[in-house]
């Protein structure tokens, strides 16, 4: 059977800021100041995420995992014939300007007639050339040779996200590869999945659980439940789809940089019955002591290699690093796992985020080597 999470439940997941996600923990791993800066940037630019790799990834996700599938993608996106888009930042500024025009019922005003107060309101939210005056920033937008053409497309396709034909074509090539590759097509053939009584597959499954006294949440792109002859859930395979602009051979570097080890380990913990998982779905999924949870997997689709698909499974050692951290031979913790980060989360909840825990506890007196600073 196939179970697809409704949009309302996914919105509920993201709106719920009280529960800790793997993204929270990975950002905290960068340090308190970096974490606070990132949170502030997100407050200022919640809609400013239209960079090309993200757009392509969103098209892929909408097509493969949403209730509407290809129909929803067609309703949400418009592929426009544009020789060159403005820069990523200018694109999102233009979108914000158009949204503001719609809010005031003036969505048909031409680019040259956009009021200055619209610009001022939008630019106040964007961390882009903030050291310059609004007038200077507005001039930069107007001088971009592609701004007016792109804004005209926004007027023409008022309720859709405008993407270039190249972006749309690349996303579709990645989707086709995922749907046809022998390794992955079994996850995306909706008709066959729906007719298969031996396997349940869940798209965009929200799971809420508790770890070490902290309320947590995880959103799985794909969960495969394999049943035994009696119909009991025998194995669960948790999977995340990553879309990337890097070559597939370079995924290891991205994996380390983005700390996907934390995600894999944290998400795996969501199925531990000791953590009281709650599965926000109409499907019958549950986790008990007899259910085998297979090692976390990533499916990787790349705009640099759109015709190819990579599948990687985390080994036990990497799952341990994601959970407990990466230690040196003499016991120095260089890369925190999610268990330590959960402890840090509790510490900062109690003591505030004025000081880095490492610095404060060592009274700002530490050792240092090529890897970083550490306490005795």
Q: At what angle do helices 116-123 and 88-103 cross, to 10 degrees?
A: 120
- Separation between Cα atoms, residue 121 and residue 104, nearest integer Å: 13
Q: Which residue in 267, 256, 266 sits closest to 341, CA to CA?
A: 266
Checking if the pLDDT of 44 tops 50, the result is: no
pLDDT of residue 187: 96
Orientation of helix 260-269 relative to helix 316-324, angle to 10°: 90
Q: pLDDT digits over 298-343, tens only?
A: 999 999 999 999 999 999 999 999 999 998 888 888 899 999 999 9
The CATH classification number of 1-47+182-351 equals: 3.90.320
Give tens-digit pLDDT for 199-208: 999 999 999 9
**pLDDT tens sequence across 65-79:** 999 999 999 989 988
In this predicted structure, the answer to whether residue 43 has a pLDDT above a threshold of 60 is no
Which H or E run contains 298? Answer: strand 297-302
The predicted model gives 215-244 an average pLDDT of 95
Q: Which of 270, 250, 309, 349 is nearest to 28 (CA)?
A: 349
Q: Is the pLDDT assigned to residue 271 strictly greater than 60?
A: yes
Whether the predicted pLDDT of 180 surpasses 90: yes
Q: What is the pLDDT of residue 49?
A: 42
DSSP for 68-104?
STHHHHHHHEEEE--S----HHHHHHHHHHHHHHHHT
Q: What is the pLDDT of residue 50?
A: 47
Q: Are 45 and 184 in contact (CB under 8 A)?
A: no
Q: How far apart are CA 248 and CA 221, in angstroms?
A: 20
Low-confidence winner among 8-22, 39-53, 131-145 (lowest mean pLDDT):
39-53
The answer to whether residues 353 and 35 touch, using CB atoms and an 8 Å cutoff, is yes
What pLDDT was estimated at residue 42? 58
pTM for the predicted model, two decimal places: 0.85
Domain boundaries, the chain: 1-47+182-351, 50-173
pLDDT band at 289 (very low <50, low <70, confident <90, very high): confident
Pseudo-torsion of CA 371, 373, 375, 376, nearest 10°? 60
């Amino acid at each position: 059977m196939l179970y697809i999470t409704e949009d309302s439940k996914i919105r509920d997941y993201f709106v719920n800021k009280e529960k800790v996600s793997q993204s929270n923990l990975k950002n905290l791993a960068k340090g308190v100041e970096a974490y606070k800066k990132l949170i502030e940037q997100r407050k200022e630019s919640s809609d400013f995420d239209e960079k090309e790799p993200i757009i392509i990834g969103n098209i892929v996700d909408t097509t493969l995992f949403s209730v509407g599938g290809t129909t929803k993608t067609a309703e949400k996106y418009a592929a426009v014939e544009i020789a060159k888009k403005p820069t990523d930042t200018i694109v999102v500024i233009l979108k914000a300007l158009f949204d503001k025009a719609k809010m005031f019922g003036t969505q048909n005003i031409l680019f040259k007639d956009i009021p200055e107060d619209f610009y001022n309101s939008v630019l106040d939210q964007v961390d882009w050339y903030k050291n310059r005056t609004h007038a200077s920033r507005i001039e930069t937008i107007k001088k971009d040779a592609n701004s007016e053409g792109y804004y005209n497309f926004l007027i023409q396709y008022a309720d859709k996200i405008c993407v270039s034909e190249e972006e749309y074509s690349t996303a579709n090539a990645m989707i086709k590869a995922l749907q046809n590759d022998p390794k992955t097509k079994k996850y995306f053939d909706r008709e066959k999945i729906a007719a298969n009584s031996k396997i349940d597959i869940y798209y965009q499954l929200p799971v809420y659980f508790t770890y070490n006294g902290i309320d947590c949440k995880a959103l799985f792109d794909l969960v495969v439940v394999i049943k035994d002859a009696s119909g009991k859930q025998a194995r669960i395979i948790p999977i995340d789809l990553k879309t990337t602009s890097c070559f597939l051979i370079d995924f290891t570097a991205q994996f380390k940089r983005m700390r996907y080890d934390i995600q894999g380990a944290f998400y795996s913990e969501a199925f531990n019955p000791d953590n009281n998982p709650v599965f926000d779905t109409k499907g019958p999924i549950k986790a008990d002591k007899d259910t085998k949870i297979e090692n976390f997997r990533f499916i990787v689709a790349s705009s640099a290699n759109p015709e190819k698909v990579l599948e990687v499974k985390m080994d036990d050692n990497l799952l341990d690093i994601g959970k407990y951290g990466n230690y040196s031979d003499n016991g120095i913790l260089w890369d925190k796992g999610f268990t330590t980060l959960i402890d840090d989360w509790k510490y900062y909840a109690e003591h505030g985020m004025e000081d880095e825990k490492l610095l404060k506890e060592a009274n700002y007196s530490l050792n240092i080597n090529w890897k970083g600073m550490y306490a005795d």
